[in-house]
Amino acid sequence: MSSDERQKKMIIRFAILFGLVFLGFVAVIIKIILLQTVEREQWLKVIEYQVKVNQEVAPVRGNILDTDGNLLATSLPQYVVKMDTRVESLHLKQGAVFYQYLDSMAQGLSYVIGDKSPEEYRKLILKAYRNPDPRKRDIRLHKGRINYIQKKEILKLPLIGQGYYASGVYLEEMHQRSKPFGSLGKRTIGSIYGKDGNGSAGLEFRYNDYLKGKPGIARVQRVAGEKEEVIEKEAVNGYDIQTTLDVHLMDICESALRKRLELQQADWGCCILIETHSGKIRAISNLDRTDDGTYEEMRNHAVNLVEPGSTFKTIALMAAMDDGKVHLYDTVRIYSKGWDYGVAHHTDAHKLDTVLTVRSALAISSNIAFAKIITESYDKKADKFVNKLQRMGICDSVYCEIPGFQNPKILVPKDGVTLSKMAYGYSVELTPMQILMFYNGIANDGKMIRPYLVSRVLNQDEVVESYSTQVVQSSLCSRKALEDIRLALHDVVWDNDLPGTASVRKWQGKITGYKAQSKIVSIAGKTGTAQLYHHGKYQDKEHRMTFVGYFPEDNPQYTCICMIERPKNNYDAGMDCGTVVREIAEKTMVYAGHNVIRNGKITYEIK
């Protein structure tokens, strides 16, 4: 072959090769044009089906624990049942597998979940399977959530048991907030919103930033017909909150309170128990009467303002004693027909014409005596009275972990009439928690400390934050005034001759019942009865009862308050609230491992 022929063949081969490359290039250009125009929507739908990025991975919310680590609130796994009818295996051979198992899947789902009939499930699945819009073919089979046991049963059903790639059925794990001890402290523990999982009340709300954790990020994609999830950023689970509460003491408090509320058919009741020297809140119960007559935790009365009634007499007396205005054995005359001061007419529950010592006046809770004591001590000097209360710390705004905590309202009265009513607990407002805090200061040698609910924030075993006792007032008053107040509070419970308002019930000179007086533990404290104000006036037959006391009296370890609103039967703060505190005190002493009173002698020892 000549060189010319060889050259011609090379040119032909090169031309063919160039032509093929050129045709390939043209084909690529045409394909790109088709992808960008004619096939654009089709492939966009495929991409949408194939890849979803940056899906949020929810963290597990932290637990709320009692002082011993018992779960007060925790997150339990629950599951949302879904079905992706776009799964490739369901469409092979004109959907032979899908139609073969459709009825059995519907029957199984109906049996396990129980919210729809088999026919309703069949129609729901079939509608999604035939929907031309791919976005509407991935559906939720059940509006609610199922538990772990139901999940296990569903995964045993025909075809579904073969997995997602065979059936298209999958379960999304979510967490439902649960309170293992039911109603105990329900309102204090709080609740969370359904969708976003943030706290909406109680400790769930106050410590939401610690409890909620931080969400992670996952990429969900389908590769070769398979669904795949890739975690790009791990979720950070929430921290645990350890409280000062004790579930056993909470049960004691709620049981005693509920029993009395049911007997009296009262509107609501509140009970709080704290450790005297630490201020740790060991139990708290708030019960409201429902429409059907039962009692549930609905509102946190512990932090809502009320007129304190006669429990304020102790506070007023301490101020006057510490200012040197009055002494324990000074006398005051009271009258069976009442006593007028300006336009105010003051009366007592005890209709007596007699002379009382200040000590006895507190024990029988004489409104007349205290109106006279405070007006004689601070007449035209009401600002000095309120200033004294402020220095004692009762007017301080004291932080409490319970959301909605209200500050006290003790204002300088504009006239002597208002001052005379302030003396026995009207025209002032305190929360049960603040009343308890003051009486706990009396029990704690005059040192008033803040009651608190949360001791630690935990990240597994690591302590993130810790909280301890905070002193509000290092000394409420002089040592002499404190000792005298304690003597008077003793008589409230233990003077049977007067009798003290929380001691005994008598009929024709004989004891027919015991109030806060116990044969097991010595309690000291004060009753309070306040008429309710509504419709523009105080109601003669509607009352709020209170007893607040500490025990054991000679070496206080606990302070407790019980408040009951609008009892339907005969009202008696000592009988209604005093008996509740007595029961709590007796059971608490046994639970805490203390010895008791025997043969009238105090023989307990603090262990």
Query: What percent of the chain has pLDDT above 90?
Result: 68
What is the pLDDT at residue 224? Answer: 47
Tokens 């949302």 correspond to: 80
What residues form DSSP beta bridges with 459? 462
What is the pLDDT at residue 605? Answer: 47
**CA 526 – CA 510 distance, rounded (Å):** 23
**CA 87 – CA 97 distance, rounded (Å):** 12
Q: What is the dihedral of CA 441, 443, 446, 450, to 10 degrees?
A: -20
Question: Which has more pLDDT, 568 or 607?
Answer: 568
What is the pLDDT at residue 225? Answer: 46
Contact call for residues 532 and 539 (beta carbons, < 8 A): yes
What is the pLDDT at residue 499? Answer: 95
What is the pLDDT at residue 511? Answer: 93
Judged against a pLDDT cut of 90, whether residue 47 lies above it is answered with no
- pTM, two decimals, is 0.81
pLDDT band at 233; cut points 50, 70, 90: confident
Other CB atoms within 10 Å distance of the CB of residue 151: 17
pLDDT band at 513; cut points 50, 70, 90: very high
Return the biggest CA–CA distance within the chain: 151
Judged against a pLDDT cut of 80, whether residue 416 lies above it is answered with yes
SS3 149: helix
Both structure tokens of 425: 């607990």
**CA 353 – CA 334 distance, rounded (Å):** 6
pLDDT band at 223; cut points 50, 70, 90: low
**CA 506 – CA 517 distance, rounded (Å):** 13
Judged against a pLDDT cut of 60, whether residue 88 lies above it is answered with yes
State the chain's mean pLDDT as an integer.
89
